[in-house]
Amino acid sequence: MIAIIPGQWPPRRHKEGPCPVSRGLALLPAILWASSLCWQAAWAQSSVSGQVINGTTGRPAVNQKVELLTLGEGMNATRETFTGTGGRFTFEQVELAPSSPHILLRTIYRGVNYNQSLSSTSEMAGPQLLTIYETAPQLAEVGVSMPFMIALAHGNELRIEHQYLLTNDSQPKRTLANSLSTFEFDTPDSPLDLKVSVLGLGRIPLPQQPLIRDGGGYRINYPMKPGINEIWVAYNVRFPSDDRQLKFRLLHGTDHSQLFVKPSDLQVTGTGVVSTGIDSRTESATFHITQIAEGEFLNLRIAGEAPEHSAHDGHDHGEDSDFRVVRLPNRIFEQRTLILGILAALSLAIIFYALGQQSRERLHQQARKRKKKRS
């Protein structure tokens, strides 16, 4: 019998049971299971639904094949389906996982690719719209301009880059598709390392094979969709001295254009070329090129010494004009280290809690033993 001392509660009687450490560790699988649910939620499977519309006719496209592709190490078609009534389609149980951090919806109509990019579960949850267009081999409502031109000097050589914008304002909207040519351009004689690229979805450069054009110059046959299509042309020109005479035709002409020259201390002259100062971002000398009629020549003289190396122009389209391919980010995949750290912290917290319970239980047992001796 235990004596009760006035002013004190009687000692608690503890029932025999599992070791506190065992109880704490027994919770660990449950916690890890709950944590795994959070992890799985990050890569949750969900359906992707949408509609394919013909932008030329304004009608839904029925029985149109739609592919779901994963973008990781290359591009792989993983799923495909066909649109039903109303041009609608659905992909069930689509997973945005580390092995496929980015997915693409693609449909091909009249030989032209039409894409929709998805890089997060929130984007996957919304209704998707793929718009296709009828094609035409020639369109009167197409205009071409050259807003920018870049000249990088290294030694007696020039690295030239052009930005062309092809605007397709066709009504009703149609895609310009011609196996012979959809875009043509000219260069100086004997260009070196000629590269042509069309900027596609997400401004990813799509390299094109330049073909020789009748009458001089080059052509490509990439389909030009309604709206603005951006094309970059880059090449090298070698000169016998640092008095560089650059001459080529603007097959489409231009209303105005901006010229960037680097190094900025080179002497630049030419008909219709006006200095506009220094661009602080690229440290290039800038010039305005006035209107040039269709088929007229652009004549430039760029003189002065330049270091014997390929300088970067500070623009984002490439380094030394080797067009840069951009990997599209996935927010959840980029935070995988944080998620794993949280799971590890939870596990440690459970273990420390169990050890703490064990220490407290030992103290209680020692206190009970001392009280028994006193009694």
Tell whether the model's pLDDT for residue 309 goes beyond 60.
yes
Distance CA 6, CA 56 (A): 94
At residue 238, φ and ψ (nearest 5 deg) are: -105, 135
Pairing mode, strands 218-220 and 183-185? antiparallel
Helix (H) or strand (E) holding 113: strand 112-118
pLDDT, tens only, 235-247: 999 999 999 999 9
Helix (H) or strand (E) holding 112: strand 112-118
Q: Which residue has the tokens 């994963």?
A: 70
Per CATH, the number for 142-323 is: 2.60.40
What pLDDT is recorded for position 119?
A: 81
Report the first-to-last Cα separation within the chain, whole angstroms.
Answer: 8
Q: Which residue has the tokens 């901006």?
A: 258
Tell whether the model's pLDDT for residue 125 goes beyond 90.
no
Distance CA 55, CA 229 (A): 17
Distance CA 177, CA 307 (A): 43
What pLDDT is recorded for position 308?
A: 86
Distance CA 285, CA 282 (A): 9
Share of the chain above pLDDT 90, in %: 57
pLDDT, tens only, 24-80: 555 555 555 554 444 444 445 678 999 999 999 999 999 999 999 877 655 566 789
Helix (H) or strand (E) holding 118: strand 112-118
Q: The tokens of 323 are what? A: 């067009």
Distance CA 188, CA 289 (A): 18
Distance CA 235, CA 305 (A): 20
Spatial neighbors of 205 by CB under 8 A, at least 6 apart, are 197, 198, 199, 232, 317, 318, 323, 324, 325
Q: The tokens of 236 are what? A: 């090298």
pLDDT, tens only, 266-281: 999 998 999 999 999 9
Distance CA 57, CA 45 (A): 35
Mean pLDDT for all residues in the chain: 79
Q: Are the beta carbons of 232 and 197 closer than 8 angstroms?
A: yes
3-state secondary structure (DSSP) of residue 247 = strand
Per CATH, the number for 42-132 is: 2.60.40.1120
Q: Are the beta carbons of 247 and 298 closer than 8 angstroms?
A: yes
**Alpha helices per DSSP H over the chain:** 20-42, 121-125, 331-334, 336-374
User: Which is more confident, 166 or 28?
Assistant: 166
Q: Are the beta carbons of 199 and 205 closer than 8 angstroms?
A: yes
User: Which is more confident, 345 or 139?
Assistant: 139
Instruction: Give the CB-side neighbour count of residue 242, counting CA atoms within 13 A.
Output: 13
Tell whether the model's pLDDT for residue 362 goes beyond 70.
no
Distance CA 238, CA 191 (A): 8
Pairing mode, strands 322-323 and 318-319? antiparallel
Pairing mode, strands 128-132 and 45-54? parallel
Domain with CATH 2.60.40.1120 in the chain: 42-132
3-state secondary structure (DSSP) of residue 141 = coil
Distance CA 75, CA 188 (A): 37
Strand partners, 235: 160
Strand partners, 180: none
Q: Which of 65-74, 85-94, 186-195, 328-337 has the lowest mean pLDDT?
A: 328-337
pLDDT, tens only, 342-361: 544 454 455 444 545 555 56
Spatial neighbors of 29 by CB under 8 A, at least 6 apart, are none
Q: The tokens of 292 are what? A: 């040039």
